[in-house]
Chains A and B, each alone.
Chain A
Amino acid sequence: MAGTGEGKKEEADYKRLHSFPLIRHTDMPEEMRVETMELCVTACEKFATNNESAAKMIKESMDKKFGSSWHVVIGEGFGFEVTHEVKNLLYMFFGGSLAVCVWKCS
């Protein structure tokens, strides 16, 4: 019982500590990167339970801001190989369990 209690505590700790957005890979310029990251965070927080809506929101906002055509993948586990326009890719983790990949390719 004590072990599970500790486990829970650790889990809570983990969730608290690992809630920040962590950019794994990006080749965007600084300003764009920050904006995109904030957008992703907003979308993931807004649609915490529905990744599809979050992805849709990110895609539409990005299309508006930086021109078409953007692609967004959000999920807890996936693999991908994408071709993207240079300086238009962001791959980040968020909330301890989500991976978000945003790229542009028209």
Chain B
Amino acid sequence: MSVRDTNVRAHARKGSNVQKTPGVKSTKAANKEKISSVCDETDVTDEEKTVEMGGGRIKGLVKPPDQLKLTDIEKKEKITKVLTTHNPNAPNNIARWSFKDRCFKPCVVDHTMHIFELEVNLVYKNSEEGRKEMLKQGLHEDDATVDTGAESDKEKTETSATPVEDGGEVEEAGEEDRPDSAASKTDKKEPKIANVFACSRATQTLDNPPREISCQIEPLPRSSFSASANQWEIYDAYVEELQKQEKNKEKQKAVPSEKDDKSQKKMVLMEAQEADFKKVKKEAKSLERMVNQNIYDKIVQDFAYYEDPADEFRFPKATLLPLWKFKYDQAKKLSVTALCWNDKCPDLFGVGMGSYDFCKQGSGMLLFYTYKNCSFPEYIYPTSSGVLCLDIHKQRTYLVAVGLYDGCVAVYNLKKEGKEPIYKSTAKTGKHTAPVWQVCWQNDDMDNNHNFYSVSSDGRVVSWTLVRNELVFTDIIQLPLIGADPEEPELAQMHLIPCGTSMDFHKQIDYLFLVGTQEGKIYECKTYSSKILETYEAHHMTVDTVKWNYFHPKVFISCSSDWTIKIWDYTINTPVLTFDLKEPVGDVAWAPYSSTVFAAVTTDGNVHVFDLNINKYEALCQQLVVDKKKTKLTHIEFNPTHPIIIVGDDRGNVNSFKLSPNLRLKPKGKDGPEVEAAKMETLLALLRKPE
């Protein structure tokens, strides 16, 4: 109900039609509170008329043309009509569940029905509201109606009055609209009537006061420069620059070698111990030798003075006196593959370490021992591949040529620091394609360049010349293919390529050399021609060593794994002497002091020493020199000055022995190479006789 009340009031306030309606006053009075929109048509028309009258201000009654014309009696007749507020069409039995009361409740049905609704903003000026409105405008206006919203209308009416007032009016209106003017708000207690018309509004906000910010960076650093330019200064500058450039060029040329030195030095420095050691190297070395001298004093005494007194009684038999043993821990898994004495320092010898076993190839080592210090090598050069042969230059004993299993030949310089060879052949520079079995230094060529020869399994004999920074190669001979031999086609298919395994140069004729091969043949060749002078069908197996006699120019010796040693006269195709040692022979060597003495090692660990002058058929001395069984002896070499031999085995050890006096017998009274040669000659003559 309250909702409806307010509705009615709203009507009453906004529309001024309710108050003065003479036609329906009586009927409406009763139901003033409950004005329903369901009412008589006539009433409505009356109302409209009054509205028209009010709005249009037309005095007098205006009758619609179709109004019934009634007589006075008829007019006075009272017709009673009851208006009810009930809507006969509205449902009256709606019930809804009330959650609040937890039961069904009859629902209130709204009986109100709006037929017509019109909102008007005209207010009757004599009404309470109108007066208030007048007051609000604050004014003395006589206008019947006040249009609150429409300012433009007001302005129109008021411009006719006074312009000054008008200005004030506008100002006031402006004040009213201004939202932040507190004064106008306090004056008016009534709610403000909204402006329904769109009109321009202006607002003004506070201005942000301007501020100034400034900063300063540090000034850019400056400096001053002064110079003077003139022709002679410019000229001098150019000359100086050119000189500098020339110097730089010279330096650049010199730089590479310096760098090499530096890198070598760095390598040395890397090993801090060695670096520290370097300062006292000399002292430490002499100290080490002194200690060794003390430890091995007895051996030194034996070496110098001991002569086996028993020899006199057991002639012609002889013995070997063991002296120093040379060992190096890091080389103990390698076998000795080459031995070579230094001609100028008779106590120094080189040892090549590698392996003959095809399956056990790896790195190798080049060692130099002196018997002044048998506990540690004098020089150590590790190599990437196994060393198979080495030769020390006869005059320049610091130069060492080495042949490796991978086919390389290399030259080491003992005087230079560092572990790298000074020359090494590469694939570009004629490297052998198979293991290099023998290298031999030769006399310097006409340009005084050092050169050496190598022989390899690839069948080539190559001459290497040391020219400044490189190793120049020249192929000397290609060993003939075995396929050329028509008698043994099967064998030929098996080994088409002849493998050179050993070589030796003639002691007097420097262009003549022998090459032993894997097939057991020995070829006699010259360095300046690729022709083979002579072929010897020497052995049935690999020729391990072939060596010219030191004294007799025609005689050479060869040994092979086929258990034999053969002595040859190079003018004869058949061996002069043959010795069967019942074991594969690893190496054989002529004694440097006698033309008839030679020594051989066999794989069972025996050393055989022969003196043909004393016994042409049997060794004077056959001695087992290894500690352990299965140790194979690989190489033997005579010391060039002392009566000493060194023997290498396949465990990396080198043993030295002193030859007993019976092995060193010399013709009495006479001495010299001619005597030795003659001794051999007589022997050969003796051997030829039976033929």
**A79 with B234: in contact, given A84-B222, A85-B222 (CB under 8 Å)?**
no
Verify B224–A93 contact, CB threshold 8 A. Answer: no
**A27 (CB) vs chain B CBs: closest residue:** B223
* Interface Cβ pair total, 8 Å cutoff: 71
Q: Does A99 contact B (CB under 8 A)?
A: yes
Q: How far is the CB of A66 from chain B (nearest CB, A)?
A: 13
A83 to chain B: which residues have CB within 8 Å?
Answer: 222-224
Q: How far is the CB of B224 from chain A (nearest CB, A)?
A: 5
In chain B, positions 579-624 with a C-beta closer than 8 Å to chain A are none
B223 to chain A: which residues have CB within 8 Å?
Answer: 27, 83-84, 86
Q: Does B225 contact A (CB under 8 A)?
A: yes
Verify A96–B238 contact, CB threshold 8 A. Answer: yes
Verify A80–B227 contact, CB threshold 8 A. Answer: yes
B220 to chain A: which residues have CB within 8 Å?
Answer: 85-86
Verify B237–A80 contact, CB threshold 8 A. Answer: no
Verify B221–A85 contact, CB threshold 8 A. Answer: yes
Q: Does A24 contact B (CB under 8 A)?
A: yes
Verify B238–A17 contact, CB threshold 8 A. Answer: yes
Interface 1/0 per residue, A29-68 and B, CB below 8 Å: 0000000000000000000000000000000000000000
What is the CA–CA distance of A63 and B605 in the complex, to the nearest angstrom?
93
What is the CA–CA distance of A89 and B222 in the complex, to the nearest angstrom?
10
B221 to chain A: which residues have CB within 8 Å?
Answer: 85-86
**A79 with B227: in contact, given A18-B238, A22-B241, A97-B234 (CB under 8 Å)?**
yes
A77 to chain B: which residues have CB within 8 Å?
Answer: 228-231
Verify B231–A97 contact, CB threshold 8 A. Answer: yes
A85 to chain B: which residues have CB within 8 Å?
Answer: 220-222
Verify A93–B237 contact, CB threshold 8 A. Answer: yes
Verify B238–A84 contact, CB threshold 8 A. Answer: no
Verify B222–A93 contact, CB threshold 8 A. Answer: no
Verify B224–A91 contact, CB threshold 8 A. Answer: no
Q: Does B469 contact A (CB under 8 A)?
A: no
Verify A17–B231 contact, CB threshold 8 A. Answer: no
**B221 (CB) vs chain A CBs: closest residue:** A86
**A81 with B222: in contact, given A22-B241, A97-B231 (CB under 8 Å)?**
no
User: Which of B222, B229, B235 sits near A78, CB closer than 8 Å?
Assistant: B229
Verify A89–B237 contact, CB threshold 8 A. Answer: no
B242 to chain A: which residues have CB within 8 Å?
Answer: 17-18
What is the CA–CA distance of A105 and B220 in the complex, to the nearest angstrom?
10
B237 to chain A: which residues have CB within 8 Å?
Answer: 22, 24, 93
Q: Does B330 contact A (CB under 8 A)?
A: no
Q: Chain B interface mostly helix, strand, loop or mixed?
A: mixed
Q: Does A103 contact B (CB under 8 A)?
A: yes
Q: How far is the CB of A95 from chain B (nearest CB, A)?
A: 9
A81 to chain B: which residues have CB within 8 Å?
Answer: 224-226
What is the CA–CA distance of A89 and B234 in the complex, to the nearest angstrom?
18
Interface centre among B222, B226, B229, B230 (most CB of A within 10 A): B229
What is the CA–CA distance of A14 and B241 in the complex, to the nearest angstrom?
13
**Interface size classification for chain A:** 20 to 34
A27 to chain B: which residues have CB within 8 Å?
Answer: 223
User: Which of A25, A86, A99, A105 sits near B234, CB closer than 8 Å?
Assistant: A99
What is the CA–CA distance of A39 and B411 in the complex, to the nearest angstrom?
56
Interface centre among B227, B230, B235 (most CB of A within 10 A): B227
**A25 with B238: in contact, given A77-B231, A86-B220 (CB under 8 Å)?**
no
Q: How far is the CB of A18 from chain B (nearest CB, A)?
A: 4
Verify B225–A79 contact, CB threshold 8 A. Answer: no
A99 to chain B: which residues have CB within 8 Å?
Answer: 229, 234
In chain B, positions 222-279 with a C-beta closer than 8 Å to chain A are 222-231, 234-235, 237-238, 241-242
Verify B225–A84 contact, CB threshold 8 A. Answer: yes
Interface 1/0 per residue, B380-417 and A, CB below 8 Å: 00000000000000000000000000000000000000
A82 to chain B: which residues have CB within 8 Å?
Answer: 224-226
What is the CA–CA distance of A98 and B231 in the complex, to the nearest angstrom?
8
What is the CA–CA distance of A105 and B222 in the complex, to the nearest angstrom?
8
What is the CA–CA distance of A103 and B222 in the complex, to the nearest angstrom?
11
A79 to chain B: which residues have CB within 8 Å?
Answer: 226-229
**B226 (CB) vs chain A CBs: closest residue:** A81
B227 to chain A: which residues have CB within 8 Å?
Answer: 24-25, 79-80, 91, 101
Verify A84–B231 contact, CB threshold 8 A. Answer: no
Verify A84–B224 contact, CB threshold 8 A. Answer: yes
Interface centre among B221, B222, B234 (most CB of A within 10 A): B234
Q: How far is the CB of B242 from chain A (nearest CB, A)?
A: 6
B234 to chain A: which residues have CB within 8 Å?
Answer: 93, 96-99
A78 to chain B: which residues have CB within 8 Å?
Answer: 228-230
B230 to chain A: which residues have CB within 8 Å?
Answer: 76-78
Q: How far is the CB of B228 from chain A (nearest CB, A)?
A: 3
What is the CA–CA distance of A24 and B242 in the complex, to the nearest angstrom?
14
B226 to chain A: which residues have CB within 8 Å?
Answer: 79-82
What is the CA–CA distance of A48 and B518 in the complex, to the nearest angstrom?
81
What is the CA–CA distance of A77 and B222 in the complex, to the nearest angstrom?
25
Verify A93–B225 contact, CB threshold 8 A. Answer: no
B229 to chain A: which residues have CB within 8 Å?
Answer: 75-79, 93, 99, 101
In chain B, positions 179-237 with a C-beta closer than 8 Å to chain A are 220-231, 234-235, 237
Q: How far is the CB of B496 from chain A (nearest CB, A)?
A: 65
Interface contacts beyond A24-B227, A91-B225, A99-B234: sample of 6 additional A-B pairs, CB < 8 Å, sorted by A: A79-B229, A84-B222, A85-B220, A91-B227, A93-B229, A101-B227
A to B CB contacts below 8 Å, 25 in the list: A18-B235, A18-B242, A75-B229, A76-B231, A77-B228, A77-B229, A78-B228, A78-B229, A79-B226, A83-B222, A84-B223, A85-B220, A85-B222, A86-B220, A86-B221, A86-B223, A91-B225, A91-B227, A93-B229, A93-B237, A93-B238, A96-B235, A101-B229, A103-B225, A105-B222
Question: Which positions in A face B, CB cutoff 8 Å?
Answer: 14, 17-18, 22, 24-25, 27, 75-86, 89, 91, 93, 96-99, 101, 103, 105
Closest 6 CB pairs of A and B: A99-B229, A79-B228, A81-B226, A77-B230, A18-B238, A86-B221
